[in-house]
Amino acid sequence: MLSLYYDPIYTEGLDPSVRFPRERYRLLAERLQHHPDLHIKRPRAASREEILRAHQADYVDNFLAGKLSAESMRRIGLRPWTPAIVERTRRITGGSLQALEDALRTRGIAGNMAGGTHHAYYDCGSGYCIFNDLAICALTALLQPTIRRVLILDLDVHQGDGTAAILAGHPDLFTCSIHCASNFPFRKQQSDLDVHLADDTDDRTYLSCLDRTLEKIRPQDFDLILYQAGVDPLADDALGKLALTREGLNRRNQRVLAYNRQHDIPIVIFMGGGYAQPIEASVDAFQDLFTTAAALSI
Ligand SMILES: [Zn+2]
């Protein structure tokens, strides 16, 4: 049984006029809700203290109080904001933390049907990302004495710049990002390992590159994998610039998730980006992601 976290506020906490495919969460939940091997749970709201593990107090407090500057909000996007964006953000972060707890407790796979907000920095948000749930989860995991080394594997088409910046200098937290070189963010940060792909990279090139990268970083040597599984490398994606097929993306996910069964490593799945127009191709790919994970969790 695969634990997944979802709340209707993932969609409803964004204004209906937002230039962001907010319906993807609701559509995905509708497709997955009767899946026999999935247990979809409501997330709790993350606490201020949990968020502070990765973020500056002024930034966190201003956001929670609805007092971020217009410039800070512009850099994040997702406008126009409604007051519900605060609760939405806290629940998405809470869902990631609960998926982390489930994965560690069962030594299995668990996921959040949102999150992977990898563009958020220590003291500001960016690119649809407010709090960096990957960094919060990585720093939270290290509080457990049994967790010594964590791999943050970011396969979203955009570089995990915020995660790389927040976690830089932590020798026990290894950030690896495989992304499109010419895509946002245009000023890249330095992950522990960055792999920059050319525009229009196809399944074959992508998967052989992934295999070489996995051989190099040896995920089996870590105590936990935080997997940012964005589906925006899809050829159908409006923002991605790569050329993966649905099948290629599914094979990508299988290769990563296999480290759970083959090496007993707990894995947390963060949903990440997906911006196909219409959105159905992204929802298809997210559905594949979670049903593949469920099949491995039986
Ligand atoms: Zn992305």
The residues that bridge with 176 in the sheet, in sequence order, are 153, 193
pTM: 0.98
Determine the distance separating the centroid of ligand 1 and the alpha carbon of 73, expressed in angstroms. 19
Give the distance (Å) from ligand 1 centre to CA of residue 154: 10
> Distance from the CA of 251 to the center of ligand 1, in angstroms?
19
pLDDT in tens, 113-163: 999 999 999 999 999 999 999 999 999 999 999 999 999 999 999 999 999
CA 277 to chain centre: 20
pLDDT at 4: 98
Percent of the chain residues topping a pLDDT of 70: 100
Residue located via tokens 């709790």: 44
Question: How do residues 23-42 score in pLDDT, each as one tens digit?
Answer: 999 999 999 999 999 999 99
Task: Calculate mean pLDDT across residues 223-235.
Answer: 98
In the chain, what are the domain boundaries? 2-296
Of residues 292, 268, 234, 281, the one with CA closest to residue 113: 268
Residue 274 CA to ligand 1 centre (angstroms): 7
| Under 8 Å between Cβ of 224 and 268 | yes
Q: What is the pLDDT of residue 136?
A: 99
Tell me the CA–centroid distance for residue 222 and ligand 1, in Å: 25
Level-2 CATH architecture, domain 2-296? 3-Layer(aba) Sandwich (3.40)
CA of 8 to the centre of ligand 1 (A): 22
Span 277-294, mean pLDDT?
Answer: 98
Residue 191 and residue 8: Cα distance in Å, rounded? Answer: 33
Q: What mean pLDDT is predicted for residues 173-193?
A: 98
pLDDT of residue 65: 98
The confidence band for 298, taking pLDDT boundaries of 50, 70 and 90, is confident
256 phi, psi to nearest 5 deg: -70, -50
Q: Kindly list the distances between the CA atom of residue 170 and the CA atoms of 121, 133, 209, 216, in Å, as whole numbers in the listed order.
A: 15, 16, 26, 19
Position 206 pLDDT exceeds 90: yes
Closest by CA position to 224, among listed 113, 137, 98, 95 = 137
Task: Say what the pLDDT of residue 100 is.
Answer: 98
Residue 46 Cα to ligand 1 midpoint, Å, equals 23
Q: State the distance from the centre of ligand 1 to the C-alpha of 298, rounded, in angstroms.
A: 29
Q: How far is the CA of 156 from the centre of ligand 1 (A)?
A: 5
Q: What spacing in Å lies between the alpha carbon of 90 and ligand 1's midpoint? A: 20
When pLDDT is averaged across residues 213-227 and rounded to a whole number, the result is 98
Cα separation, 173 vs 168, whole angstroms: 8
Q: What is the predicted pLDDT for the residue at 133?
A: 99
Q: How far is the CA of 145 from the centre of ligand 1 (A)?
A: 32
> Is the model's pLDDT at 179 over the cut of 90?
yes
